[in-house]
Amino acid sequence: MDVVIAGAHGKVGLRLGRLLAERGDRVRGLIRNPGHERELRDAGLDPVVCDLEDGACDPVAAIEGADAVVFAAGAGSGSGADRKWTVDYAGAAKLIVAARAQGVRRYVIVSAMGAASPPAGDEGFAVYLRAKARADEELQRSGLDWTVVRPGRLTDDVGTGQVHTAERLQRGDRVRGLIRNPGHERELRDAGLDPVVCDLEDGACDPVAAIEGADAVVFAAGAGSGSGADRKWTVDYAGAAKLIVAARAQGVRRYVIVSAMGAASPPAGDEGFAVYLRAKARADEELQRSGLDWTVVRPGRLTDDVGTGQVHTAERLQRGDISRDDVAATLLAVLDEPATIGTTFDLVAGDVPIRDAVAAAGRGG
């Protein structure tokens, strides 16, 4: 595939370009500054000096022969309001025109979380979001095969992720574990999993490739209680949403998501747990509309207690606790119970054997 990335010297653009180049794609990187050419070449990209704010730049010529365009450019946080419009909006708009002219159907834009409902006012970030929103809207009306990706605040943080898979491994299933931190690979291997380093917050992660050949996907990731509001959206929501897209692309029908009790009616407000529940709710809704064979499991407060093998499931429950062991065992039972496809249920500790409780949930009981 021949891909053109505008903003190829930025963190997301350069990482994406390197990933594409490593798998054998030709990648052209549009840059403003000729001083960045060597860095792009070292990463395996073909640099094209084409400043989208400069009338001398011909974006139609720059993308000739491409199969896809990715607009990852931005004026940057230190720029004034005018450059939000000339780069974040007009740069994207010019490439839309160029893509149509060249017959390039595929166009992916890196927008920003908040661009769906941008605020009024002259404050820099408000102007930035309005410029992003306008570019998104123009792309959505373009008739191209478009995708708008709206990340939260971009960071280079690392984190952890664990899932209990012992029972599934004991019966011979292959389990791949997606992790952010390569330092956790050995721990997963020792547990019998095949680790796949794929940070769903990082544009360099290709979830489509990560799940190739899978029969089912389980989304059990979360930003964690110590994270800020942005990461609830980039992990708990967007991570799940990206895997939905990947599952469709790979033809993986079965998708189970670990949500949270309370996500059925999430509260308003900026308090961390409220934001967490809204992010979970949005992920659940997106999965439920996906056309996949989905199940939404909403556990109560998680504990590190030893599992009892007994739980209580229902469409709605009062608050309660449940061990991570019993959540994992419930997920296994869900994967084995076709009747749970298309169901959403709350989960807490109880007195019903897990497989019986899951079967009842599948019957709507």
**Catalytic residue numbers, as ranges:** 276
Report residue 171: phi and psi, to 5°.
-100, 5
How far is it, in rounded angstroms, from Cα 208 to Cα 187? Answer: 24
Helices 272-288/238-250 angle, 10° precision: 20
How far is it, in rounded angstroms, from Cα 52 to Cα 303? Answer: 53
- Residue 67, SS3 per DSSP: coil
Please say whether the beta carbons of 233 and 173 come within 8 A: no
In the sheet that holds 2-6, the strands lie side by side as 46-49, 26-31, 2-6, 68-71, 106-110, 145-149
In whole angstroms, how far apart are CA 358 and each of 121, 228, 274, 281, 355? 51, 33, 28, 21, 5
- Residue by residue, DSSP assigns 243-301 as HHHHHHHHT--EEEEE--TTTTS---SSSHHHHHHHHHHHHHHHHHTS-SEEEEEEE-E
Long-range contacts from 165-173, C-beta under 8 angstroms, 24+ separation:
165/191, 165/192, 165/193, 165/328, 166/191, 166/192, 167/328, 167/329, 167/332, 168/332, 169/193
